[in-house]
């Protein structure tokens, strides 16, 4: 017989399966099927937020809110995305978050890291990746109205933090690889200016006080060539 935590995990997984189904049905223009899948996903994920809170499972609670944010993003309900993201950070211990300025979250300091719940950083990586995509969408929209550079900088910051959180789990693992693959696809599809991203990535690292190259800088170098190549 499965435990309550296992049932929460199963609900979370099913909610994500329906979310991906809604994503592809929406992209194909099959609106009724997309709406049905989105409803099922939302129902499962909202149930997880309640159950995880009751069972004191902060990572699962945060992941469910983040996945609700991604669901809204995929089916074009942007008004729901920011609300979900705000909720995603609330259950997580503050010591797992990067400070406003500093090279590491307090929990990642050498003496404490061996006691860290690593999946919490995976959850934060997913949330930051969603924030990055939102900022990038705004930067590329006609409504940027002179804020293009500022929004690109925000996107670079969230990309930097997303990959940095993932890297705290391990130098190489599934979530990190998937994040980099998605980022590569986005940059290529939108034909983004690599030189500009190199500049913003360096500025973000300096402002945050991160060791360089960051994982985002390393990603840009590996996939598209060095900053000097684009200068």
Q: Is the pLDDT of residue 172 over 90?
A: no
Give 175-226 pLDDT, tens digit per residue: 889 999 999 999 999 999 999 999 999 999 999 999 999 999 999 999 999 9
What is the mean pLDDT of the segment spanning 109-115?
83
The reported pLDDT for the residue numbered 147 is 80
The reported pLDDT for the residue numbered 143 is 61
Its pTM stands at 0.93
- Per-chain mean pLDDT for the chain: 93
- DSSP letters, the chain, are ---HHHHHHHHHHHHHHHHHHHHHHHHTT-HHHHHHHHHHHHHHHHHHHHHHHHTT-HHHHHHHHHHHHHHHHHTT-HHHHHHHHHHHHTTS-GGGSPPSS-SS-GGGSHHHHTTS-THHHHHHHHHHHHHHHHHHHHHHSGGGTT-HHHHHHHHHHHHHHHHHHHHHH-SS-HHHHHHHHHHHHHHHHTT--HHHHHHHHHHHHHHHT--SS-HHHHHHHHHH--HHHH-
Q: Is the pLDDT of residue 231 over 90?
A: no
Give 8-35 pLDDT, tens digit per residue: 999 999 999 999 999 999 999 999 999 9
């Amino acid at each position: 017989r499965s435990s309550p935590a296992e049932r929460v995990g199963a609900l979370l997984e099913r909610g994500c399966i329906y979310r991906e189904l809604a994503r592809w049905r929406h992209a194909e223009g099959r609106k009724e099927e997309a709406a049905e899948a989105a409803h099922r996903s939302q129902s499962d994920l909202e149930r997880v937020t309640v159950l995880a809170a009751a069972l004191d499972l902060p990572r699962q609670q945060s992941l469910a809110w983040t996945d609700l944010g991604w669901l809204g993003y995929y089916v074009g309900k942007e008004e729901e995305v920011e609300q979900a993201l705000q909720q995603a950070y609330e259950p997580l211990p503050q010591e797992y978050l990067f400070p406003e300025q500093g090279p590491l979250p307090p929990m990642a300091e050498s003496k404490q890291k061996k006691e860290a719940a690593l999946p919490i950083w995976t959850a934060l990586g997913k949330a930051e990746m969603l924030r990055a995509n939102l900022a990038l969408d705004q930067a590329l929209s006609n409504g940027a109205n002179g804020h293009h550079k500022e929004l690109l900088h925000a996107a670079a910051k969230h990309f930097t933090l997303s990959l940095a959180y993932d890297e705290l789990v391990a130098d190489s693992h599934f979530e990190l690889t998937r994040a980099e693959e998605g980022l590569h696809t986005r940059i290529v599809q939108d034909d983004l200016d690599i030189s500009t991203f190199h500049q913003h990535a360096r500025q973000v690292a300096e402002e945050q006080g991160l060791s360089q190259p960051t994982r985002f800088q390393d990603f840009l170098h590996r996939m598209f060539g060095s900053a000097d190549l684009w200068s």
